[in-house]
A and B are shown apart, each in its own frame.
Chain A
């Protein structure tokens, strides 16, 4: 069985290291916060201006002035600090964030990432994604391996407008884990019960050993 959303998030959480500052994107990456391994302390950055993001508030305790980058109400922790948007992106652009875990529409074998627009269809904007992939030390993508129509999202070349060029280090999908290496992608791990053949079949990108 391929991994489900929560299993993908749990697998992505294994990437985290003690003491890291981490930015989690919207969607499956947000779930990563539920699976941070015991003994690993990470500080979550929210690019709208916060380090030390806490869980969702209890009902009745929502604060309109306290939201994450997905505009969801959240809470603060004892170590929380707030700052403005230019400071927030100074620490992102300046390479102070250890890892960003982001969703994607397409990833290519050279680490190109597309996750912000579908021309003529979906025009929402890139938000902070371009800044994150340009500035953060290590970018991990979490996404389904194929589209709803069954087409590979792990490609030789992205077809959609890019968010960043050669920025992705590791791809975690419902089928397994792949690393971007010189010449293509390297299989790191298969999801439970997924065969290498199944993963290769769902991958348009070149897989190297």
Chain B
């Protein structure tokens, strides 16, 4: 069982094809699999359907795939930080399926947990529920949402051990665990691969059973909104 690959190119070898569905972790630019995204850009895979909370910014993260017109459709909750995205969307070059953020996360979690659909009250009475089955439980209306099973998951974690057990750091965890679980294949990039036994088994965030391939690399970790406060004099 060898999960560690030398780089993003090797880790994605044989996994990419036109028209595939990719689930990506990250929230804004926090905890995005930036090395794997850059490699997908280099490969030029087309007509991608990408389930990701956001669409990156111009020139970084998933924004790079939009620039190369590699994306056919985004499944996202918020896409407000990307001018190229807005242009392609308004000119109908790009499809967007808006998902409430919690519904998107739960669709990934459900897909990875073998649950093909679930009922939620989120979005009832809005355009999100249009055309979807509803059901009344205990007097309240719920809408049926489908689990997502992706062809490939791309994920960023902080540390991994060689068996693929993962630890995330602070709010960079976000969509990464649910995205990791919902892929038929899951490729993970980390800042550090530590020896077996170096992670406390009680403090592992995602068991290695969900991880197929693993790379270690240097991350830019760009900050989207740098906000600070003044020190008291």
Query: Which A residues form the contact surface with B (CB < 8 A)?
Result: 46-50, 55-59, 61-68, 70-74, 76, 82-86, 88-90, 92-93, 123-131, 134-135, 161-166
Contacts and interface: CB of A to CB of B under 8 A. Distances in A.
A125 B127 contact: no
B123 A130 contact: yes
A72 B31 CA distance: 14
Nearest to A128: B101
Interface residues of B, number: 59
B100 A131 contact: yes
B173 A82 contact: yes
A56 B227 contact: yes
Contact of B174 (A48, A72, A163): A48
Contact of B178 (A72, A84, A123, A124): A84
B53 interface: yes
12 contacts: A46-B171, A48-B174, A57-B228, A58-B231, A61-B228, A67-B28, A71-B29, A73-B223, A85-B178, A125-B79, A128-B101, A165-B124
Interface in B128-176: 128, 158, 168-176
B101 A65 contact: no
Interface core residue of A57, A67, A85, A125 (most chain B CB under 10 Å):
A85
A133 to B, nearest CB: 9
A21 to B, nearest CB: 16
Contacts of B106: 86, 89-90, 93
A3 to B, nearest CB: 24
A166 B96 CA distance: 27
Contacts of B213: none
Closest 9 CB pairs of A and B: A89-B102, A165-B125, A124-B80, A131-B102, A85-B105, A64-B221, A130-B100, A128-B101, A125-B78
B178 A67 contact: no
Nearest to A75: B229
A196 B89 CA distance: 44
B103 interface: yes
B226 A165 contact: no
A70 B226 CA distance: 11
Contacts of A46: 171
Interface in B64-99: 76-81, 86, 89-90, 96, 98
Nearest to A70: B225
Contacts of A55: 229
Contacts of B169: 65
Given A130-B100, A164-B126, A57 B229 contact: yes
B231 A85 contact: no
Contacts of A85: 27, 53, 101-102, 104-105, 174-175, 178
Contacts of B226: 62, 73
Nearest to A46: B171
A55 to B, nearest CB: 6
A62 B226 CA distance: 7
Contact of B80 (A57, A73, A125): A125
Given A48-B30, A86-B178, A88-B102, A130 B225 contact: no
